[in-house]
């Protein structure tokens, strides 16, 4: 799928992280990639993160998955919504929805959540801390857009849902199949299904908080720090008041922290691995039988393209002399020459026809084998 009527430059300049935008069906041809029954089947699986939100009895209730298949037969005419996270991990046609949005860097893309709702179903007025494109896949949904929210915005008391207490809609649209609504971080929004079999595909983006960056980076640093690295004051002089923590002491202590956090190269290596870590690390995507570089070289000779696992996260950081550090599923790989060229291609495209000259490079084939054996890559014939 691709866009035929969408100006990326104008969108990034005027709307990205600034204000909502309704995009009326920009696709060359919209085709809904998943049926409601297929989504319900995914929600029954143990490895899939799902939630069923219902308006039964006049109040919103939420049930976490896996959802028993029999539960769907009990819903009747309730105003319910089924939400399934990271459907792109399991359904290639849903993963393909991300491709037109690759004008946002890979490291910012999270996943595709898919929902199906009965008439009147929704999850209530809420706001997110990340950007989201809401694609109407099937049926119709009425979206209301409110104002900017933050952590001080009053919420309704609820154990499982973050619902805005005083939602005031400022704009309202009904989305038809293929329409897209972009909502920046912090903007209140509320979607309600208009009719049954209302399906919405939510492409969400990652936005690490300052607290997450500091906390996780510090945890990583602490693993490498020696207990002998301590504060010292060999030039200590008597103080007028022993209860005072002097400016010199604060300066020394603060310098210890600054020095520990100031290594930009260490931060870059940590962030690449942290950001590329799998969303669901408990799922093992590795092949039943590992393959050698020579075996993969033979497979490439047949002309089969290499496919990225939709559940895998690929990104890289450029280094001196044309090299790069490749990050895939929480692992890092130092790449130069042909291996760096291959790594760049793998990060740019979800399907790669590896050039013959790259197959002659041992470092490139060793990289390919490492990624294949950890389940980050596959060949079309492996499906």
pLDDT digits (tens, 9 = 90+) for 255-273: 999 998 999 999 999 999 9
Q: How far apart are CA 102 and CA 67, in angstroms?
A: 32
Q: Say yes or no to pLDDT of 373 above 80.
A: yes
Give the pLDDT confidence of 219-230 residue by residue, as tens digits: 999 998 889 999
Q: Which CATH number fits domain 209-222+263-383: 3.40.366.30, 3.10.20.340, 1.10.645.10, 1.10.3720.10?
A: 3.40.366.30
Q: Say yes or no to pLDDT of 332 above 80.
A: yes
Smallest CA-to-CA distance from 71 within 46, 43, 36 is with: 43
Task: Taking residues 308-331, report their average pLDDT.
Answer: 94
CA-CA-CA-CA dihedral for 16, 20, 22, 26, to nearest 10: 10
Supply the pLDDT for residue 304. Answer: 84
- Supply the DSSP symbol for 57: G
Supply the pLDDT for residue 366. Answer: 96
| Domain 8-205 shares a fold with domain 209-222+263-383 | no
Q: Lowest-confidence range among 99-108, 159-168, 184-193, 262-271?
A: 159-168
Q: How far apart are CA 351 and CA 382, in angstroms?
A: 14
How would residue 320 be classed by pLDDT, with cut points 50, 70 and 90?
confident
Q: Say yes or no to pLDDT of 154 above 50.
A: yes
Supply the pLDDT for residue 57. Answer: 67
How would residue 159 be classed by pLDDT, with cut points 50, 70 and 90?
confident
Q: Say yes or no to pLDDT of 383 above 50.
A: no
Supply the pLDDT for residue 337. Answer: 95
How would residue 2 be classed by pLDDT, with cut points 50, 70 and 90?
confident
Q: 């013959």: which residue's tokens?
A: 356
Q: Which residues contact 77 (CB under 8 A, 6 or more apart)?
A: 118
Q: Give the burial class of 260: count Cβ atoms within 10 A of its Cβ; 0-12 exposed, 13-18 middle, 19 or more buried.
A: middle
Q: How far apart are CA 202 and CA 143, in angstroms?
A: 13
Give the pLDDT confidence of 13-48 residue by residue, as tens digits: 999 999 999 999 999 999 999 999 999 999 999 999
Give the pLDDT confidence of 188-240 residue by residue, as tens digits: 999 999 999 999 999 999 999 999 999 999 999 999 888 999 999 999 999 99
Q: How far apart are CA 213 and CA 234, in angstroms?
A: 34
Q: How far apart are CA 309 and CA 382, in angstroms?
A: 11
Smallest CA-to-CA distance from 164 within 144, 183, 194, 140 is with: 144
Q: Lowest-confidence range among 106-110, 290-294, 303-307, 362-366?
A: 303-307
Q: How far apart are CA 135 and CA 24, in angstroms?
A: 10
Q: How far apart are CA 127 and CA 154, in angstroms?
A: 12
Q: Domain residues of the chain, as ranges?
A: 8-205, 209-222+263-383
Q: Please, what is the end-to-end C-alpha distance for the chain in angstroms?
A: 21
Q: Say yes or no to pLDDT of 281 above 70.
A: yes
Mean pLDDT of the chain: 93
Query: What CATH number labels 8-205?
Result: 2.60.120.650
Instruction: Say if residues 125 and 163 touch (Cβ distance below 8 Å).
Output: yes
């Amino acid at each position: 799928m691709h866009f035929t009527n969408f100006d990326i430059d104008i969108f990034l300049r005027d709307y990205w992280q600034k204000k909502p935008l309704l995009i009326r069906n920009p696709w060359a041809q919209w085709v809904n990639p998943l049926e409601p029954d297929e989504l319900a089947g995914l929600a029954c699986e143990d490895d899939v993160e799902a939630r069923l939100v219902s308006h039964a009895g006049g109040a919103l209730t939420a049930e976490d998955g896996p959802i028993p298949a029999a539960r769907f037969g009990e819903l009747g005419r309730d105003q319910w919504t089924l939400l399934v996270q990271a459907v792109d991990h399991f359904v290639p046609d849903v993963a393909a929805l991300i491709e037109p949005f690759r004008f946002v860097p890979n490291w910012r893309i999270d996943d595709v959540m898919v929902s199906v709702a009965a008439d009147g179903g929704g999850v209530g007025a809420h706001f997110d801390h990340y950007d989201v494109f809401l694609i109407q896949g099937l049926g119709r949904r009425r979206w209301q857009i409110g104002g900017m929210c933050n952590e001080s915005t009053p919420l309704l008391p609820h154990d499982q849902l973050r619902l805005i207490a005083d939602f005031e809609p400022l704009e309202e649209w009904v989305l038809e199949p293929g329409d897209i609504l972009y909502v920046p971080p912090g903007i209140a929004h509320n979607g309600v299904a208009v009719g049954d079999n209302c399906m919405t595909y939510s492409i969400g983006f990652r936005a690490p908080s300052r607290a997450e960056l500091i906390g996780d980076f510090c945890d990583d640093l602490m693993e490498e720090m020696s207990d002998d690295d301590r504060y010292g004051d060999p030039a200590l002089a008597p103080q007028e008041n022993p209860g005072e923590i002097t400016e010199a002491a604060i300066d020394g202590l603060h310098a210890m922290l600054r020095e520990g956090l100031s290594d930009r190269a260490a931060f870059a290596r940590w962030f690449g691995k942290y950001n590329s870590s799998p969303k669901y690390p408990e799922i093992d995507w590795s092949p039943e039988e590992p393959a050698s570089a020579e075996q993969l070289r033979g497979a490439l000779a047949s002309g089969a393209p290499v496919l990225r696992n939709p559940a895998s996260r690929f990104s890289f950081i450029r280094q001196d002399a044309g090299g790069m550090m490749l990050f895939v599923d929480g692992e890092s790989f130092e790449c130069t020459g042909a291996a760096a060229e291959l790594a760049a291609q793998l990060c740019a495209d979800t399907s790669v026809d590896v050039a013959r000259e790259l197959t002659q490079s041992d470092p490139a084939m060793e990289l390919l084998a490492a990624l294949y054996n950890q389940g980050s890559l596959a060949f079309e014939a492996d499906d």
